Amino acid sequence: MSGMTAIAPTADWRSDVFRVLKRHDVRHVAYVPDAGHAAAIDMAIADPAIHAVALTTEEEGIGYLAGAWLGGDRGALLMQSSGVGNCINMLALPAAGRFPLLMVVTMRGDWAEFNPWQNPMGQATEKALNLMGVLTWRADRAEDVEPLLHGAASMAFNGDSACAVLLGQRLIGEKQWVKK
């Protein structure tokens, strides 16, 4: 039987993601399950002040977060870079509606990727987001996650902008197939 394991850095950047969301009064966390976001997802699920919503596909999160904003709440979308391709058409909603959208994207297909299926979208993620009017920042070091996510959240929620922080694969750690 085969499985996948991640060889990750030891810094606490995973908890930083959740702490920044809390600091910015995020009340809704929409996500598609992802190992890179597992800590933030688990913390969101455990926090009674946050509505953690598992999605069947990433673009649902954009509509969900638009509704949360219209209801007076802030939210964030946690997804993998492969899910950005699913969101392209729906990214017209925050652009046309001028509401904030904060996305945290774990990258695949950009460093030490073992799965060639991940490479095309991994290489196109940032360009695709930028073409749809999303402001992006990339964190490849643990110490960059907190300040970049804080800045993106400030710009999203104070400026009604669509913003994404891309968490690079070097930060997340190399994934390898292992035999069990």
CATH number of the structural domain spanning residue 97: 3.40.50.970
pLDDT, position 174: 78
Lowest mean pLDDT among 3-7, 54-58, 84-88, 124-128: 3-7
pLDDT of residue 112: 74
Domain extent at residue 112: 2-179
The answer to whether the beta carbons of residues 64 and 35 sit under 8 Å apart is no
Query: From residue 2, how far is each of 20, 27, 117, 173, 178 by CA, in Å?
Result: 35, 37, 18, 19, 6
Give the type of residue at 14. Answer: R
CB 86 within 8 A of CB 57: yes
User: Tens of pLDDT along 95-109?
Assistant: 999 999 999 999 988
Tally of domains within the chain: 1
Residue 57: pLDDT above 50?
yes
Q: What does pLDDT average to over the chain? A: 91
What tokens appear for 162 in the block?
Answer: 């669509």
> Per residue in 7-53, pLDDT tens?
343 358 999 999 999 999 999 999 999 999 999 999 999 999 999 99
Closest by CA to 124, choosing from 76, 96, 83, 165, is: 83
DSSP 115: -
| pLDDT given at position 114 | 83
Closest listed residue to residue 32, CA positions, set 65, 51, 55 = 55
